Amino acid sequence: MARLAYFQGWRTDQIARLAAGAKQYILVKNERLIRKGDLLDSLSVLVSGQLRLCIPLPGEGERVISLVGPGESFGESCLILSEACPFDAVASRQCHMLRIDKRSYLRELRLDPSLTENTLQLVSRRLLETLRDTGICAQRSSVQRVSCYLMQFRPEPECADFQVRLQALKRDIAAKLGLTQETFSRVLGLLSQQGVIHVDGSLIHVADARKLASFSPADCR
């Protein structure tokens, strides 16, 4: 546990106590760990694999809120407020999970102000990420959304040329952008055709970041 990114900043005795109320388990691909509206009794930390947090839409389909990778967690805000979970959590592939008892988690938090501080930063970061995603999805056209999405991976402003490795299926990326996979695919095709990007599977080479930026609002980083 101590090796997981999530527990950087925790003392070993704290981790040890958490471990007492922790369980490990495996999720098979497409297994649904949490349903929207569930009351959580534990914090989930991902050891390996990937899962998506998403909002189910009426009649097949979903909107992806977040893609969770190894060392990341989710559910803090629900535990802190004892509120129902506002999203589904689904394994995008086989996952190795850690489930930490709510009571133990909240107790450690209460006992050590510096952990509360860390968590405050974590939740703040997540809020800002969510707001950024909102900004992307609010873009009117599909080209603008994809452009914004890619531009956020630009390593530094004014960098003209960079690569992006899509960290999930295109289907899921599309659902995160509020698009269908068909539309996403077409946009990538269009941008390729114009020579702005080159697509090779899940690897996207942004060849002309200036031009790509011209499709999206100035304030996209």
Partner DNA sequence: CGCGACTTTGAAGTAAATCAATGGGCGTGG
Partner DNA sequence: CCACGCCCATTGATTTACTTCAAAGTCGCG
Which positions touch DNA (CB under 7 A)? Answer: 61, 140-143, 169-171, 178-186, 188-189, 199, 201-202
Q: Report the alpha-carbon distance of residue 26 to residue 48 in Å, rounded.
A: 10
185 binds, among its own copies, DNA, none (CB under 5 to 8 A by kind): DNA
Q: Is 135 in the site for its own copies (CB under 8 A)?
A: yes
Q: Which residue bears the tokens 């990114």?
A: 5
Residues 6+ apart with CB under 8 A from 6: 45, 71, 72, 73
Nearest to 73 by CA among 117, 33, 20: 33
Q: Taking CB under 8 A as the criterion, which residues in 51-80 touch its own copies?
A: 55-58, 61, 63, 65, 76-78, 80
Q: Which is nearer to DNA, 41 or 182 (CB)?
A: 182
- Phi and psi at residue 76, to the nearest 5°: -55, -50
82 binds, among its own copies, DNA, none (CB under 5 to 8 A by kind): none
CB of 127 to its own copies, least distance (A): 5
Query: Can you name the residues that pair with 62 across neighbouring β-strands?
Result: 56
Q: Which is nearer to DNA, 80 or 199 (CB)?
A: 199
| Burial (Cβ within 10 Å: 0-12, 13-18, ≥19) of residue 131 | exposed
Q: Which is nearer to its own copies, 116 or 183 (CB)?
A: 116
Of 37, 39, 182, 203, the one binding its own copies by CB under 8 A: 37
Other CB atoms within a 10 A radius of the CB of residue 44 amount to 21
Q: Which is nearer to its own copies, 20 or 134 (CB)?
A: 134
Candidates 21-29, 41-49, 91-99, 134-142 — which segment interacts with its own copies by CB under 8 A? 134-142
The alpha helices in the chain, defined as continuous H runs, are: 12-20, 76-81, 102-111, 113-138, 142-151, 170-176, 181-193, 209-214
Q: Is 8 in the site for its own copies (CB under 8 A)?
A: no
Contact positions toward its own copies, by CB under 8 A?
36-37, 55-58, 61, 63, 65, 76-78, 80-81, 83, 86-87, 110, 113, 116-117, 119-121, 123-128, 130-135, 137-140, 144, 178, 216-217, 219
